[in-house]
Structure 1
Amino acid sequence: MTPQDRTLPRPKLLRMQNLRRVVQVLSFAAFVYLFVMTIGRFDFAAKANVLMSKAPIDTFFRIDPLLGLTTMMATRRLIAVMLIYGLPVVVLTILAGRFFCGWICPLGTALDATDTVFFRKRRRPATSGEAASRSIGRRAKYYILVGVLVSAAIGSQFAYLMDPITIITRAFTFALFPVVTLLTGAGIKLPYVPDDVQYFFRLNFLAAVVLTGILAANAVHRRWWCRNLCPLGALLGLLSRFSIVRRTVRTDCVRCKKCVPECKMGAILDDPTQYLAPECIYCYSCTPVCPSLSTRIAPSIAGEPYRTDLDLSRRRILGAVGIGALVAVLGRTNVAAKPTRTGRLKTSSEFLIRPPGALPEDEFTDRCIRCSECMKVCPTNGLQPAITEAGFEGMWTPVLVPRIGECTRQCNLCSQVCSSRAIQPFEIAERTHIFIGTAVIDRSQCIAWNSNKQCLVCDECCSYRAVIWKTVEGVRRPFVEVHKCVGCGICENVCPIQPMAAIRVFAFGDKRNLSRDAQKAYFEQAPKE
């Protein structure tokens, strides 16, 4: 092939850059599809709520190696579903490089789309990999990764704060999904959107602000988040250092440096024949702008001039270790870690009511990746992100707020969508003996007690028959049978007393520390009718 032939433009459809865009669109469409299908419907044949989709709707959380690694480190257990799905991504990254960030990651796709729509014509400083490699910003994500891994090693799971999959899913769940359900309230019918519940979530502004800030950072540099802060990108960058897929530049390169400003990650050095391998996401932006077509990205085992050095400061690494350890220790010694008298359950609030099937509190907070899938799939909107109920370590974890929505008896959807198994699978038939709390009647508020009026609302709605009646001073009064009450909260939800219900669910009836058989034995101690 002559030099003139090499300068002929390649057909657009054959460019890897366009293939990457197609894969990005398909991957993001799959992410949105799985998010939309994270919803249940009532199956009259099964007499239970079932998921709308047969596909594993938590696929993106399963393939996230950062979430899988930190969760297994924090719990000291192998989680099969995360290991099986995450291991192929790790192997492919070692062989083919940091492709996940440039081709699969939904947050990365959102960043590229935001850049195209809002910042395409904005003039931004073209920072080469040479200058960026010397900045603290480029290395910050590696220090964050160190801190996250140290926290996990001590036993605290904090990857959810910075993981891109959880960040975008939380924003979709807490901010976008409730806005969509507003349309159904206005009479607009939408497929796969419930029209009988108006969803809203606590901390929705915080989730929206975090995602908006990440997208807005594109005004500084393209993929500023990926370049500087993403710990998942840092982990994949470390794994990709020995990839056989490399960017190579032939000797006929004219060194025009057109590829330098085109690089989304600023990975190309001042000498355009060299680049930082851990930063390359294989976006192929550098190949079509090359006037001599000297640049290619392909499998290679030759010693091309590429760099894998990270130039991390030993002092800052030790600082990251110290911060990670401090955060983990503070998380495990705050009020949420205070044991009860039994010494078997941590609690910080009488309203810390977990979903049915949740593990004991210490293991639950270590396993929960704060993905918000259980809250999105909850048919009553009763599951909400924790604010202070579980202390600092338990922030964003799911708690039941019965005044917003009860825990439906014919539902186990939260256990089906939990990828980390923080909520253990259970059958509908087991709902009678999975205790998440106990209802307590406030006699000073209950009109059946303080006004001697007849009110049967809590009794009529309780499918567990946990509200019983006894004659006190010649008048029938309601009581709660603790061996039957599982803490579903429907009584609190429908209680007519405002603003605070006269019957409320408290966490002291939580028996997660007991096995299912032990909880069933406790249930069987209830008096026979």
Structure 2
Amino acid sequence: MLRTIRLTLAIVFFVLITLLFLDFTGALHTWFGWMAKIQFLPAVLGLNIGIILLLVILTLVCGRVYCSVICPLGVFQDIISWLSGKRKKNRFRYSPALTWLRYCMLGIFLLAIIGGLGSFVALLAPYSAYGRIASGFFAPVYQWANNGLAYLAERAGSYAFYETEIWIKSLPTLAIAGMTAVILIILAARGGRTYCNTICPVGTVLGFLSKYSLFKPVIDTAKCNGCGLCARNCKASCIDSKAHEIDYSRCVACMDCINKCRQGAITYTRRRPNPEPTTAKGTSVTAEQINDTRRAFLSTTALLAATAAVKAQEKKVDGGLAVIEEKKIPERAVQITPPGSLSARNFAQHCTACQLCVSVCPNQVLRPSGNLMKLMQPEMSYERGYCRPECTKCSEVCPAGAIHPITKADKSAIQIGHAVWIKENCICVTDHVDCGNCARHCPAGAIQMVPSNPKNEQSIKIPVVNTERCIGCGACENLCPSRPFSAIYVEGHKMHRTV
């Protein structure tokens, strides 16, 4: 019964948190955004004392329930371990805890937080690691499926779905997400919760607290016949069946051991517990069934990818005649951080690089940074869109306090940067044509077109930027027709201002 409850809750949390990263509309965050905010590290960095106390109390009462129910990376490892258990059952065994490694990793992690090394923090943070995996690998498949449905719905006269552009936002982040996924899959398939009990800093902290938890799995030595079935199915490798002992700092309270024990010797009780996790029974799957499923999945994925590629190619030509040259990112002295982040320093200190804000940005302005010091942390760039004054989605979903919640009125008054005009790139000067695109679309009215020759009112007009009114939204940079570099671009502010 306890295992069934735990599995049900874990599946619900895992599916909904995954959907938060896949939902490019941002609609789910209204109802389930709190699931991101109760993750341990974002709560710590966001100084959400209430959530931290809640998780600490939960651990002191029930053990490491957070790791087996709430943490998406923990549940992801359980899924991999369960799938690998289909081929080889009873494959685990007790192993002594690598305490020195766990606390060394925790010490390095804390030093990285204190030293402001956000890139290293993001590498080890479990919630952030899963966010990158979901955004980098699950999201494209989800979007391909959405675009396929949109294509079919449009031909049926329905607009229940709409297409979204699929693109690689950052190759370094994608590569890191891929390596993380491969390492986790190998560790989970071979050793279950190896990552959680040797590397994960959150697991180490909660493991220390769980040694003093009120309720724990416990072994009744009078009933135990020493078969070792619990130890061979414990994915945390924390049950010493010969000594009838459980390492509670590594037990994730999965309740598998309670179901697996045929003698009923393990119970979840207030007495000093002895956790004995076991894997759930599964039906055998033939090699032919696996191959058929794999072929079907690959065929569907290839079809969706081909459709998306054709659609993407259509968007790169002007009426099928001229190729549209893509814009390049300008060299900014100061990178732009989202409205609500207060300053570049505050953003770097609190951001966990989970990619949640990147996944919900409807204008494709946010993307992971390739800068080594801020690797994987989101930054703003305007090649594909601009930061619309009416959009506050990133501030609504950030779980760590890197982007504070703001209203639409607040956003229109926050100056995250200012526009800079580059005379050499402007088609008004190079091609001697009237443009004014930047001035017409500036939502703050910060750009005016003035005669290039003050003495001749009929001369070609050029843009002039009022830096006091400009909020740095990037509408001018995005809509400038100059290629490959815009004639006007936004320079970020280290400290945000109010206009």
Which of the five TM-score ranges fits, normalised by the shorter chain? 0.7 to 0.9
Residue in 2 aligned with 1:68?
43
Instruction: Work out whether 1:83 is the aligned partner of 2:18.
Output: no
Q: Is the 8 A contact 1:489 1:505 kept in 2?
A: yes
Distance 1:149 1:188, change over 3 A: farther
- Say which SS state the counterpart of residue 450 (structure 2) adopts: strand
Question: Matches of residues 89-488 of structure 1 in structure 2 within 5 Å?
Answer: 89-122=55-88, 126-128=92-94, 131-133=95-97, 136=98, 139-154=100-115, 157=118, 158-186=120-148, 187=151, 195-198=163-166, 200-202=168-170, 203-250=173-220, 251-300=222-271, 349-350=332-333, 352-388=335-371, 391-392=372-373, 394-473=374-453, 474=456, 475=459, 476-488=461-473
Shift of 1:241: 1.0
Residues of 2 paired with 1:254 and 1:54: CA distance?
Answer: 52
The gaps in structure 2 that reach 5 residues or longer are 276-330
Q: Give the superposed CA RMSD.
A: 2.9
Structure 1 residues 280-326: Cα deviation after superposition (integer angstroms, max 9, x where no partner): 1122222233332222222226xx789xxxxxxxxxxxxxxxxxxxx
Distance 1:443 1:54, change over 3 A: same
Alignment-mate amino acid for residue 387 of structure 1: G
CA contact (8 A) 1:124 1:220 kept: no
One-letter identity of the residue aligned with 2:176: L
CA distance in structure 2 between the aligned counterparts of 1:38 and 1:221, rounded to whole angstroms: 34
Partner secondary structure for residue 96 of structure 2: helix
**Pair 1:183–1:256, CA change in 2 (3 A):** closer
Deviations 1:452-477 (A, max 9, x none): 11223222222222221221233222
CA drift of 1:354 comes to 1.0
Consecutive unaligned residues of structure 1, counting only runs of 5 or more, are 1-14, 41-50, 73-78, 307-347, 521-529
CA change 1:174–1:86 in 2 (3 A) is same
- Structure 1 distance, partners of 2:340, 2:192, is 43
Cα separation, partners in 2 of 1:236 and 1:193, compared to 1, 3 Å: farther
Deviation at 1:123, TM superposition (A): 7.0
Paired amino acid for 1:173: S
Q: 1:491 aligns with which of 476, 484, 491?
A: 476
Structure 2 counterpart SS, 1:254: coil
Aligned-residue offset at 1:418: 1.9
Q: In 1, Cα distance between the equivalents of 2:161 and 2:342?
A: 30
Separation in structure 1 between the aligned mates of residue 260 and residue 69 of structure 2, nearest angstrom:
20
Instruction: Tell me the SS of whatever aligns to 1:278.
Output: coil
The corresponding residue for 1:8 is none
Other structure's SS at 1:409 match: coil
CA deviations on 1:85-130 (whole Å, 9 max, x unpaired) are 23111111012211111233222222222222245314786331xx
CA distance in 1, matches of 2:28, 2:259: 43
Rounded Cα–Cα distance in structure 2 between residues aligned with 1:437 and 1:52:
30
Deviation at 1:432, TM superposition (A): 3.8
What is the deviation of 1:382? 0.8
Q: Tell me, what secondary structure is at the counterpart of 1:220? A: helix
SS at match of 1:256: coil
**What CA deviation, in whole Å up to 9, does each residue of 1:164-195 have, x standing for no partner?**
11211222223322343234444256999752
Question: Quick one: structure 1 residues 467 and 364, their matched pair in 2 at CA, closer, same or farther if it must change by over 3 Å?
Answer: same
* 1:194-220 deviation digits (Å, cap 9, x = unpaired): 525445421233323322331232232
**Is residue 2:5 matched to residue 1:19?**
yes
> What corresponds to 2:289 in structure 1?
none
**Equivalences, count:** 430
Partners of 2:206 and 2:92 in 1: CA distance: 24
- Structure 2 CA distance for aligned equivalents of residues 272 and 121 of structure 1: 29
Separation in 2, partners of 1:124, 1:287 = 15
- Pick one of 55, 68, 78 that aligns with 2:31: 55
Q: Structure 2 CA distance, aligned partners of 1:112 and 1:261?
A: 15
Aligned-pair CA distance for 1:445: 1.7
Task: Tell me if the contact between 1:139 and 1:228 (Cα under 8 Å) persists in the aligned partners.
Answer: no
Q: CA deviation at 1:61?
A: 3.6
- 1:375 match: secondary structure: helix
Contact 2:215 2:268 in 1 (8 A): yes
TM-score, normalised to structure 1's length? 0.74
Give, in whole Å, the separation in 1 of the partners of 2:256 and 2:412.
58
**1:463–1:56 distance in 2 versus 1, CA, 3 Å:** same
Question: SS state of the match for residue 500, structure 1?
Answer: coil
Letter in 2 for 1:498: R
Answer whether contact 1:260 1:272 (CA < 8 A) is retained.
no
C-alpha distance in 2, partners of 1:166/1:265? Answer: 22
* Alpha-carbon distance in structure 2 between the residues aligned to 1:97 and 1:458: 58
For the 8 Å contact 2:77–2:185, the answer to whether it is kept is: yes
Give the TM-score, by structure 2 length: 0.78
Describe the SS at the equivalent of 2:35.
helix
Residue 16 of structure 2: aligned partner: 30
1:399 is paired with a residue whose SS is: strand
Shift in alpha-carbon separation, 1:232–1:188, aligned structure 2, 3 A: farther
Distance 2:122 2:405 in 1: 22
Distance in structure 1 (CA, Å) of the matches to 2:124 and 2:341: 24
Q: Distance in 2 between matches of 1:206 and 1:156?
A: 16
Counterpart-to-counterpart distance in 2, 1:94 and 1:246: 10
User: Deviation at 1:261?
Assistant: 0.7
Q: Which residue of 2 aligns with 1:501?
A: 486
Partners of 1:124 and 1:286 in 2: CA distance: 12
Q: Distance in 1 between matches of 2:338 and 2:438?
A: 21
